[in-house]
Amino acid sequence: KMKKTGILINTARGEIMDQDAVAQALLDGSIAGAGIDTLAPEPFTLDNPILRLPEEVREKKLAVSPHVAGTTYHVFHKMHRDSWKNLRLVAEGKEPENIVIRP
């Protein structure tokens, strides 16, 4: 029901949008673009239709950001510290902690 010039913005929950329909609308030009900071499920899976869009569509019509607006100062620094710890573990040939998706 959006105009072809419309841009969908979802900063609430991934479940409130039909991700297959949004992906199709981006592909066929039914909407001009989408700005999304949450997907369903979280953590997202590699078969998510939004993330499986062709590169040219993702680059020109899609902005995806991390859903972290409510993150506290303490949690942000813990995530930052843990990310660097995981990078160090991988560099040392060890398995990182907190693996979300295994390829």
At residue 65, what is the residue type?
A: S
- pLDDT averaged over 10-residue windows placed end to end, the chain, 103 residues: 94 92 97 94 88 94 81 85 92 86 59
- Active site annotation includes 42: yes
**What are the tokens at 18?**
């039909």
Is 2 inside a domain boundary? no
Residue 11 and residue 25 share a domain: yes
**Pick from 98, 100, 102, 96: nearest CA to 41:** 100
- DSSP, collapsed to helix, strand or coil, labels residue 69 as coil
Candidate list 15, 52, 67, 88, residue with the active-site label? 67
**For the chain, how many residues are written?**
103
**In which domain, by residue range, is 46 found?**
7-64
Candidate list 13, 52, 77, 80, residue with the active-site label? 13
Residue 56 and residue 23 share a domain: yes
> How far apart (Å, rounded) are the C-alpha atoms in residues 87 and 93?
10
Number of domains, the chain: 2
- Active site annotation includes 13: yes
At residue 29, what is the residue type?
A: G
Residue 27 and residue 55 share a domain: yes
pTM of the model: 0.66
Q: What's the confidence (pLDDT) of residue 32?
A: 97
